[in-house]
């Protein structure tokens, strides 16, 4: 007997194979079984290690128990930092003045691999566990459509009626889906998302924006009060806008971020409590830990300060909020983001040198910056001492009068009125 129609006019029976972004947790485990039952289709699972700090191999065992034949588990940490995090930090991207886009920047990578696996396995649909209220559904799907325009997307949270934890647990029990004990007991009193760049906390008790989270919530940073009483000096080496070494030791992109997370977390750097504007229209309160990213942003701006032309830097700063919104809203693969990236990357050719930082009780203080090849800082011109004629101070008078001309004309006009 033919299946009934799914959402819209597409028959559920038309779906033969689906690639599911699968973590092995409660939600995606239920989704896996739900897809098999509702669409009578084969499910391929894809689990990405992007530095979330949890074992990904248990997802293989759970998928096998559900009869999945094609199981993809991939270590994407280097690709994540090299091709997504680093390019974003070349732009100094910050959303709404504070958020370092830790969740946002991971979604296009996952969407890219979902599409690639769909092509490889001959799947005609992809699926994810993002809710209909959040930003991630937009990010996953915009990324997928940009790379595979005719792909079918199945978003169970927009179709099913399993809209509570109790209903999910009941479904899991009915179908023999193993559930972690902590999940059954309610788990954390909030929702978490983690990757190599950050950990986010939202929902649950954090939905009251006036609620102060307990110190026990934070996972990778100590509180500034409990951080070491002595500061730590760190030196970062940059090549074309990317960090290539820490304290003289060359590291891969992923290992750069791992080490900066360790250093920043140790000194209480990178905590943020924020109310942000979601793309879907509502305000949302989230708490974030981004120790390595906080250090990277401060250091990168310091490196640019001596190696980048004033107007180029100003242009980058003008474009940055738009670039950040593109990432936050899910337009990583859009032509406007790609065009902006080319401009940003061109500006980074001279961003080479070293930045010295002091980490101390939640703060990151720049204490030095140098570039042997690309510094625009000329001490002979900048000095307050005798510059040997390198700069003629008398020139400033004409410069000021010319720049004041429009102000003087307007002031004279007011006098005549």
Positions marked catalytic: 27, 107, 136, 191
Measured between alpha carbons, how far is 128 from 282 in angstroms, rounded to an integer?
21
Q: How far is CA 165 from the centre of its chain?
A: 27
**How far from each other are the two terminal CA atoms of the chain, in whole angstroms?**
88
CB 174, CB 36: distance < 8 Å: no
- In angstroms, how far apart are the furthest CA atoms of the chain? 93
What is the secondary structure of 252-298 as a DSSP string? -HHHHHHHHHHHHHHTT--EEEEEEE-TTS-EEEEEEE-HHHHHHHH
d(CA 408, CA 417) in angstroms, rounded, equals 15
CA distances from 55 to 28, 50, 359 (A): 16, 11, 30
Q: How many CB atoms lie within 10 A of CB 44?
A: 25
What is the edge-to-edge ordering of all strands in the sheet holding 242-246? 249-250, 242-246, 232-239, 353-360, 363-370
Q: Is 53 left (phi over 0), alpha (psi -120 to 50) or beta?
A: left
What are the tokens at 18? 């689906």
* 8 A C-beta contact, residue 106 and residue 198: no
CB atoms within 10 A of CB 378: 11
Residue that is written with structure tokens 């899910």 in the block: 330
User: Using CB atoms within 10 A of its CB, is residue 1 exposed (0-12), middle (13-18) or buried (19+)?
Assistant: exposed
Side-chain half-sphere CA neighbours of 159 within 13 A:
17
Sign of CA dihedral 250, 252, 258, 260: positive
Query: Which residues make Cβ contacts (< 8 Å) with residue 103, sequence separation at least 6?
Result: 135, 136, 193, 195, 198, 200
Q: Compute the distance between CA of residue 199 and CA of residue 28 in angstroms, rounded to an integer.
A: 19
Contact (CB, 8 A) for 218 and 289: yes
347 phi and psi angles, rounded to 5 deg: -70, -20
């Amino acid at each position: 007997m033919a299946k009934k129609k799914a959402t819209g006019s597409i028959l559920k029976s038309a779906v033969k194979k689906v690639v599911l972004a699968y973590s092995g947790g409660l939600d995606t485990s239920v989704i896996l079984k739900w897809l098999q039952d509702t669409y009578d289709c084969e499910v391929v699972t894809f689990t990405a290690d992007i530095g979330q700090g949890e074992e990904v191999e248990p997802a293989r065992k759970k998928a096998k128990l559900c009869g999945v034949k094609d199981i993809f588990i991939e270590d994407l940490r280097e690709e994540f930092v090299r091709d997504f995090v680093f390019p974003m930090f070349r732009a100094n991207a910050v959303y709404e003045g504070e958020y370092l886009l830790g969740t946002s920047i991971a979604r296009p990578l996952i969407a890219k691999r979902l599409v690639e696996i769909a092509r490889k396995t001959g799947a005609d649909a992809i699926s994810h566990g993002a809710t209909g209220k959040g930003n991630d559904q937009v990010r996953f799907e915009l990324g997928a459509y940009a790379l595979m325009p005719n792909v079918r997307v199945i978003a169970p949270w927009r179709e099913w009626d399993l809209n509570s934890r109790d209903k999910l647990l009941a479904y899991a029990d009915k179908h023999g889906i193993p559930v972690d004990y902590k999940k059954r007991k309610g788990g954390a009193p909030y929702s978490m998302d983690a990757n190599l760049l950050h950990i986010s906390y939202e929902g649950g008790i954090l939905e009251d924006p006036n609620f102060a989270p307990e110190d026990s919530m934070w996972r990778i940073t100590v509180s500034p009060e409990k951080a070491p009483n002595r500061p730590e000096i760190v030196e970062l080496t940059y090549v074309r806008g990317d960090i290539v070494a820490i304290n003289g030791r060359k590291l891969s992109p992923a290992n750069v971020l791992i080490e900066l997370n360790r250093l920043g977390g140790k000194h209480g750097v990178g905590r943020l409590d924020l109310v942000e504007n979601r793309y879907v229209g509502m305000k949302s309160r989230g708490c974030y830990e981004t120790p390595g990213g906080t250090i990277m942003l401060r250091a990168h701006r310091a490196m640019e300060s001596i190696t980048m032309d004033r107007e180029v830097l100003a242009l980058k700063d003008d474009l940055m909020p738009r670039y950040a919104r593109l990432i936050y809203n899910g337009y990583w693969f859009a032509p406007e983001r790609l065009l902006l990236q080319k401009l940003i990357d061109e500006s980074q050719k001279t961003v080479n040198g070293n930045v010295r930082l002091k980490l101390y009780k939640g703060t990151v203080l720049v204490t030095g910056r140098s570039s042997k090849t690309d510094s625009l800082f000329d001490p002979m011109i900048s000095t307050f001492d005798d510059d040997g004629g390198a700069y003629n101070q008398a020139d400033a008078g004409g410069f000021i009068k010319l720049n004041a001309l429009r102000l003087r004309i307007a002031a004279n006009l007011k006098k005549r009125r």
